[in-house]
Structure formats: C-alpha cells, structure tokens
Structure 1
Amino acid sequence: MKEVERVEFETIAAISTPMGEGAIAIVRLSGDEAFQIAEKLFRSVSGKQISQEPSHTIHYGHIIDPETEAVVEEVMISIMKGPKTFTKEDVVEINCHGGLVSVNRVLQLCLRYGGRLAEPGEFTKRAFLNGRIDLSQAEAVMDLIRAKTDRAMNVALGQMEGRLSKLIQKLRQELLETLAQIEVNIDYPEYDDVEEMTHRMLKEKATYVRREIEHLLQTSQQGKILREGLSTVIVGRPNVGKSSLLNSLVQENKAIVTDIPGTTRDVIEEYVNVRGVPLRLLDTAGIRETEDIVEKIGVERSRQVLKEADLLLLVLNYSDELTKEDENLFDVVKGMDVIVIVNKTDLPQKIDMERIRELAQDHKLITTSLIDEKGVEELEGAIADLFFTGSIESGDMTYVSNSRHIALLDQALQAIKDVNDGIEVGTPIDIIQIDLTRTWELLGEIIGESVQDSLINQLFSQFCLGK
C-alpha cells in the first residue's frame, strides 16, 4: 500500500470495551494531544511523564482529578507513538477496572481535559483516512467483530490482511497500464517506440480482468452467507417437532416444547453454528387454519418469513398420516432450497414415505428422532453440503462477503463485458476506453480509491462506538 500523509484531526476518546461489569475496561485516546491529556490525569509510580517513556510500553499508576488531586482509579496505561499505531496517530489506552462507574469517570476526565467523544467507528475511519488500511480492510474490522463462526472469522482475517485489496489493486494496475497505452497512442501517434494498442491486445486484457471478476463473484454466495448468516426457517404443521429441532441445533432449550399444538405463537430467532455455517435460525408458528386470533397472527408471520428465507427445514411427523396441510406446504416451498425432515421415528409409522419421496422430489430427505438425538448429524452435514463445496479454509482463496463489494463487482463485470462487446463489433478503441475507465473506477470504489465522503461516513456510522 502506498504511503499516505497523515491527516490532522482533533484528539478523540471513547470506551473501547463492552459496557458492563468485567475485569478490565479500556478508554482509548487518539490524536496529537493524546499524551498531553493523559499526562494531566495520570500519575505514574515511576514519577516519569509518559511522553518520556518508550513507545509501545505499559505503565502502572493512578488517574487523578487535576482539580482536587483525588485518586479516581488505579490503572495501567499503554502508550503507542504514531505513526506505528492503528490510526497512525499517538494512541493512549487506559486500562481501568471493568465497572460502569469507574470507566465512565475516567472517560469524563479525558473529555473535560481536551478530548472529544469519538463517533461510531471513528478510530477505524482515521486508520483509513490516514492510509493505514484501505476501505475494504476497514469494513473487514466490523466483519471480524461480528463473525459468528471460525469460517466467517477466517474470511474477515483474510480481508483485513489485504487479500482482496491486493487482487483489486492488481486488476486496477492492469487496466491503468492499458488505459495509459491507449492515451499515448491517441495523444502522441508519432511515437514509434510505443506499441500500438490493437483490438486483439485489448481483448486479451479485458478477458483476463473479466475472468478474475467472475471468479470473485463465484465466491460471493458463500462469502455473504459466512458474513450475514444463512436465514433458515423451520416450517411445518403444529406439533411435528419444530421447536425440538431448534433446541437440538442450538443445544439449549430456547423454545417451549409441549404436546399441545399451537404452543409456538411467534417467530423465535437464534444464531447457531452448523459445521462452520452461521444459521440465523427461525422457529415459526405451525402453519394451519386456526380460529385463535393470536395463533393466526403467528401463522401470518410464519408465511412472511418464508418469503425471505435462504433455506427451509420442512418438518413432518413420522407417526401421523400425511395431511392436506402437509401437501400444501410442499407447494408453498416450491422452487426454494429445502431439506425435508421426517421426525419422531421413535414412534410407530403412519406416514406414507413413498408419497413423501414423490413430494420431496430432488430435495434432501432426512429422518430424525430428536428425542433420541438421531439424524441431527446427518442434517448438519446436509446443510453444510448444500451451500459449501470444498474447504473454506483454503489458503489461496479470496472470498467476497460484503454486499457493497458484490454490487460493485457486478457493475464492474457489466462494464468489462461492454468492453468485450465493443471489441467484437469493431468499435474504435478511444470509445471502448470509456467502459474500460468505468471498470477501473468501480474497482477503485471497493478499496476506497474513488468514493464519496457521504458513503464513507455512512459505512463507519455502522461501527460500534470506540472501534
């Protein structure tokens, strides 16, 4: 990454650990006056000023109120001198006891003596504006914080390390060199030592860029699932074992389980890790005709979440005969990703399994006895196989998981396709150059090389305060 001159900002402060009781809480200061503010408040047991201490060291002492000289908190202070910090500014981290009162008292003193309360994501935003990281790496910070599985964390780490950035920069460099050669050919046709850009040469470059963008987009479905979770809805008639299935996957009694149909009246949501795949698991009210007003509302909500689901787990009862309502559910889920689960195999069989296989068609069919914990492993394997092929931990694989990146890659792909179409019909190269430039600009938006301030502000506003 090219070196970027650090931007001057006022010094900011914020609590960088979750609020609540804990062993440690951290108040972070970043900016040119971070050391001066800390020195007004901190009394080291060594008697030295922290600005005289080596960078990247930690020191024991007390925070005092300068007005009264009263001890406010016993702390450890970490000092990091710019530019070798996350924000490329001077950074001080005050490690306090993890109570609400103590950490807030320290923060208030920092604000009173020169600091400004940081906006959400402002520390990471400064790292981006000061050239420490690019925009895709900054977005990966939040992905890392929100990761719910090891696989999702590995993808975020790869993006933080610049795996996507390096690939995007490589493609942009290829495009830039091509654009420069076209410009020279147009502006200085008399230069005999510069090779003329031909349609054949341009097609080779465009085909290479197109192939790389398409390869990135092929990873986007898996990457997006890892980042946002797979919206998975458990659907079926009342009392077929939907809530038991939720509890089995979560491995906790989150839903009330009874033999009374209609116990679940609303949509219950829970995140669960199934073999590295994060599921946003939704247990719905049993779908049936009912006169109960509350249950009817739950059924309508169930129908609504069905439309937004990535995966449906359709549960049937092995010990009940197949009903018209069951068959109607197969019509409702037609064309969607569905795993059919026939539950309660520990009870005598009444369901027609041949008819179930006809209705299931190409969908995966699994039998379970949740009370005996049978079939759950097979179900987890089916979920993972349905959405993931190969190993997500592959070291040389670059995954795209961010919706903004995917949208920009889609636009860039269309732009480079327009270049290829122009070449095929013999459009003059100086006209084709417009779509080539558009491709270069769209790829630049992914890493923040060409992006509006309003978008930057909107992206970082989604970060937690103190990050």
Structure 2
Amino acid sequence: MNTGARRDTIAAIATPPGSGGIGVVRVSGPEALHLLQQVFQPRRAVPAFVSHHLYYGHIRAQNGSLLDEVLAVYMQAPHSYTCEDVVELQCHAAPVVLQELLARLATLGARPAEPGEFTKRAFLAGRIDLSQAEALIDLLTARTAAGAELAAAQLHGALAAAIGGIRQSLIELLAHIEVAIDFPDEDAELVDRKEAARRLRAEVLAPVQALIADAGYARLYREGARLVIAGLPNAGKSSLLNALLREERALVTAVPGTTRDSIEEGMNLGGIPVQVIDTAGIRPAAACSDAVEVLGVERARQMLLSADALLLLIDAEAGLTPALRALYAELADRAQILLVLNKRDLLQAAEERHLCAAAAAMAPGRPLVSISAKNGEGLQELQDALLALIAPAADSFGRSARLAPNRRHQAVLMRVEAACTQCLAALEAGAPVDLLSVDMQSILETIGEISGETSPDEVLDAVFSRFCIGK
C-alpha cells in the first residue's frame, strides 16, 4: 500500500456482504463533503451540513432514478476515525444498492479503498498506534467474550501504555548516558552504572519479560486451542463430544467403529475458543471392519500430532486393556494429556476408586477425571481440568493482565529482551558510554516497532492487509 498517497478520497462498503437491515458506505478524504452534496438529497433543504448530525434523505442512481432512502452523516476533520473529512451513508443493505452507490462515487472521483486503508489513515494521522490497529482486527475476529474484552482493552491503549512506560524509562536512562558522552572527563560521576543496571532490569527487562509471558496466554484467547478426544472404539468419544457441546452433533451407537472420520466443533472453555475434535477409535488395521475405518484411524493418529491437548478416554466397562495401555504408551511423550474415565455410572464406588488408582499408576502425574458422558456426571470437573491443562494461569491472565501481545509483538519483545541482556552485560563490564548509548538506542528503536513508530513499510503493509475492505 502506498503510504504517500493520502490526499485522495477513498470509498468502500463498510458492512459485511449480503442482505440485511443496514449497509454503510464510507468515504474519507478532502472531497468527502463535496461527494455527499453530489449523491445525497436531504428531505429538507439545509444551508450546510453540520458535522456529526444525522440527515434523512435519498440517493439517486447514475441515471437520476431514485435508488434508496438513507441516513447520512458528515464528520469534519480532524474529528473522525481517519482524522480526515468522513461521510457515511446508511442505506438498506441490498448489495445492488450499495454497489450502485459505490460506482457513482467512483465516477465522481472517489478511489476504491484498499484493505484496511481507513484504519491505516487513522494510524498515519496519529489517532491510533499500530498495536491498537491490530487490536481492532482481534476485536473483529474474536470468538469469545473474553477474547473481545482483551482486544477492546488493547484497542483502548492498555498495551500502548505499558510500552510507553518502558520507552520512557529507556529515554531517561539514555539521557544520562548522552550527558556523559558530552562530558567524558566526568563519566564516572555522571553515570552510576549500578543504578543504571538496576533500572534497566526493573523498569525495562522485567516488564518486557512479563509481556512475553502474557503473549502465550493472549494467543490462546485470540487463536484458541485444538483438543483431540482419543481412545479405543466404543469408549464414548462421540457421547462426550455431544455432552461438551450440549447438542447431538456426533452419531452415537453401540457398534464399535461408528465414527469413521474426525468431527470438529468449537466450544467456549473459560473464554478460550477450543476446537474439539472427535476421532475414530484407534485399533490395529487388522481389527478394523473395512478400508474406510482404516483411513479413519490413520486420520485420528494425524490429529493427535496436531493437537494442543489430548483427552484420552478410558472405557470403565472394559477397563485398562492391553490395547489401551499400548495406546497410552504411544502418546506418553505428549505433555498435555488428560485421562478421562468414562461410564462411571456403570461402576460401584469401590470399583471406580480401584480403576482410577490403576489408571493413575499407568500414567503417573497425569490429571484424571471420572465422568459419565451419558448422564452428565463430572462434566464440570472435566471442563475445569481441561482449562487447567490448556492454560494453567488463564484465569488470572484473563482477569488482570489485559495486555494481550500478539505473535508480532512477542517476536519484537524477545529481541528487546536479548538487547537488554546485552546492554546489562556491557554496563557491568564497564563498556564506554558511547557503546552503551548505541545499545540503548537500538533497544528504543526495536520496542518502537510495537507501536509502529519505527516499523518498516513492509510490516505496516502486512498488518493492514489483514483487514477487510471498508475497515
């Protein structure tokens, strides 16, 4: 995207495609008001459009025929999303009407907007920083209320404020170093290296490391996790999927091998979007009923490799069979495994305790939950255990951190962490102040990539290309 050509006027449909109640066409740029006057006829004549007032009227097609009745609003610069003159025309969401209006605006000189161009103009005008622009993408694509809440906090500047505090500390440290460069004979007096190292650790390195730690949990709320239900045939995997989803999504029968292919559905687990995958029961190819089941078992094994967490279902009726022990041995090197004893309703209390103890001995240290997918016993305990397995600190993160660094931020922060460590070593080794200045300038420039202050154009283009047109 060309960042230099900002004085032209752009237009786009700002609402999702398809029919609906309201469809919005957005215009931004120096000719926005002129275009409004050309395409919109207010019901009552007005001497001039007042900024941020809503007007009722009509728009006409290129041939002069009545196209739609609309509401129009003019937002005068700089009091708009892009800090330019902006016009929004609220039509009925008929695709043909919106496209006809967009075509008429094009004939009058409005260029079709590129993906994310309205938000990019807001960024270039200084209305938002790059992390806030990315937060808008996260808000638009959030799959849970918790994910939307984190995105909204970042959109309102939570991450920007944290980064701003770190930058301010760096600027103050750098100022002391720069003074020492100007007065080399007084270096030892002007630079307290121990105090500088303490501040660099406490005010820069520690907050950066905390943000890096938060990034892992933020990614869960933003991108979610893949949970695979694995087990032998007829262990109750499909029943458990239905119970977790609270709907009859998978076919359940008493015939082993009913599930031939994986079934994927989404669920909200403590605010984390989780893709739950029911797989074919795993057994040797020779025991499969036909070639289709063989393929289903092979796909199940592939799903196990791509999962963030595994739920190994144990059939309480069958117990810890050699086949189940062999399956666990195959999966034992995976870090995230939850053992689930299913069909507890078929056991006496003593039998359940004995079987749970045997399962714990087979898989020492693994979390274990006993449930009945059929009648819902133990499902809440199962969900609590799943959340603890997928995100041990998710509850405290979701309630307090509110910063939500993304993958790009995490990569930048890790570079900042490495540069801080290098600068600390230089401070403690008595490196010359001019080299310390270079190190701190490098840290400042690197951390500025999060807000976009020092980001190269290709990074900006990559971020804004993720938006749809009209945003």
**Is 1:95 paired with 2:53?**
no
Q: Which amino acid aligns with 2:319?
A: E
| 1:214 paired residue number | 209
Q: What is the aligned partner in structure 2 of residue 372 from structure 1?
A: 375
The number of residues matched between the two structures is: 457
Does the CA-based 8 Å contact 1:222-1:388 persist in structure 2? Answer: no
AA aligned opposite 1:261? P
Task: Report which stretch shifted further, 228-237 or 449-458.
Answer: 228-237
Of residues 30, 33, 41, the one that matches 1:32 is 30
Kindly indicate whether the alpha-carbon contact (under 8 Å) linking 1:238 and 1:286 is maintained by their aligned counterparts in 2. yes
Q: How far did residue 164 of structure 1 move?
A: 0.9
Q: 2:362 aligns with which of 359, 379, 397?
A: 359
- Identify the range of structure 1 (277-286 vs 146-155) with the bigger mean alpha-carbon deviation: 277-286
**Deviation at 1:116?**
1.9
- Counterpart in the other structure of 1:3: none
The letter for the 2-side match of 1:41 is V
Q: What's the CA shift for 1:453?
A: 0.6
1:96-245 correspondence to structure 2 within 5 Å:
96-189=91-184, 196-208=190-202, 209-245=204-240
Opposite residue 417 of structure 2, the aligned amino acid is L
What's the counterpart of residue 427 of structure 1?
A: 431
Partners of 2:140 and 2:324 lie apart in 1 by: 41
CA distance in structure 1 between the partners assigned to 2:266 and 2:231 by the alignment: 20
Q: For 1:339, give the aligned amino acid.
A: L
Unaligned runs of at least 5 residues, structure 1: 1-5
Q: Do residues 62 (structure 1) and 58 (structure 2) align?
A: yes
- CA drift of 1:44 comes to 0.8
Aligned equivalents of 2:278 and 2:106: distance in 1?
46
TM norm structure 1: 0.91
**Paired position in structure 1 for 2:342:** 343
User: Which structure 2 residue ranges, 5 or more long, are not aligned?
Assistant: none
1:105-125 Cα offsets, whole Å, 9 max, x none, are: 222222232222222211111
Percentage of matched positions with identical amino acids = 39
Question: Take 1:195 and 1:115, find their aligned partners in 2: how far apart are those partners?
Answer: 62
Mark the CA change 1:203 to 1:295 in structure 2 (over 3 Å): closer, same or farther.
same
Is the 2:178–2:437 contact (alpha carbons within 8 Å) kept by the matching residues of 1? no
Contact 1:317 1:344 in 2 (8 A): yes
Greater helix content: 2
**Cα distance change, pair 244–456 in 1 and its aligned pair in 2 (3 A):** same
On the 8 A contact 2:151/2:404 being kept in 1, the answer is: no
Over 3 Å counting, the alpha-carbon distance change for 1:307 and 1:366 in structure 2 is: same
Counterpart-to-counterpart distance in 2, 1:353 and 1:184: 68
CA positional deviation for 1:464: 2.0
* Pairwise CA RMSD: 2.4
Correspondence list, 1:291-302, <5 A = 292-302=290-300
Q: What residue identity is the alignment partner of 2:58? A: H
| 1:33-48 pair list within 5 angstroms | 33-48=31-46
Mapped to 1, the partners of 2:439 and 2:316 lie a distance apart of 59
Hey, what does 2:464 align to over in structure 1? 460
1:402-413 matches, within 5 Å, as 402-413=406-417
| Off by >4 Å, runs of 4+ in structure 1 | 348-351
- The CA deviation at 1:405 is 0.7
C-alpha contact (below 8 Å) 1:63/1:72 kept by paired residues: yes
Shift of residue 260, structure 1, vs aligned partner? 2.9
